[in-house]
Amino acid sequence: MSERTEAIPGLRRLPWRTEGGKPAYLSSDDPNSLLSLMADNVEEQTLTNAETVLGLVKPMYAPGARLTRDEALFMLRRTAECLADAINVARMRGERLAAD
């Protein structure tokens, strides 16, 4: 399960971590700054990846589909990773909405 990170007032939590594994934050009021735009792009790519994985796994659990145990575990792991990432993006976006 992913670690729940609390928002820090006045800072934007970024969709990546520091080299030490801690949450990365941005102190900027400019939503068009290079780092803000990069963070927006990473968030969007994260959601696009989740949509892609969902599209790939849907046929795998359709009626009549046959999966090996390894295929099912692989599918479940990738889906769980994407879900955790999408939840993280939703939380980060919620933090920004609450700050407005």
What's residue 3's pLDDT? 61
Condensed to tens digits (0 to 9), the pLDDT of residues 75-97 reads: 999 999 999 999 999 999 999 88
Domain membership flag for residue 7? no
Domain membership flag for residue 83? yes
Number of domains forming the structure of the chain: 1
Report long-range pairs for 45-50 (Cβ below 8 Å, ≥24 apart): 46/15, 46/85, 46/86, 46/88, 46/89, 47/86, 47/89, 49/82, 49/85, 50/82, 50/83, 50/85, 50/86
Q: Which domain holds residue 42?
A: 12-99
- 100 token code pair: 């407005």
Domain membership flag for residue 4? no
Strand partners, 23: 17
Domain membership flag for residue 3? no
Domain membership flag for residue 1? no
Condensed to tens digits (0 to 9), the pLDDT of residues 10-46 reads: 899 999 999 999 999 999 888 899 999 999 999 999 9
Measured between alpha carbons, how far is residue 73 from residues 42, 77, 90 in Å? 26, 6, 25
In this structure, how many other beta carbons lie within 10 angstroms of the beta carbon of residue 45? 13
What's residue 98's pLDDT? 83
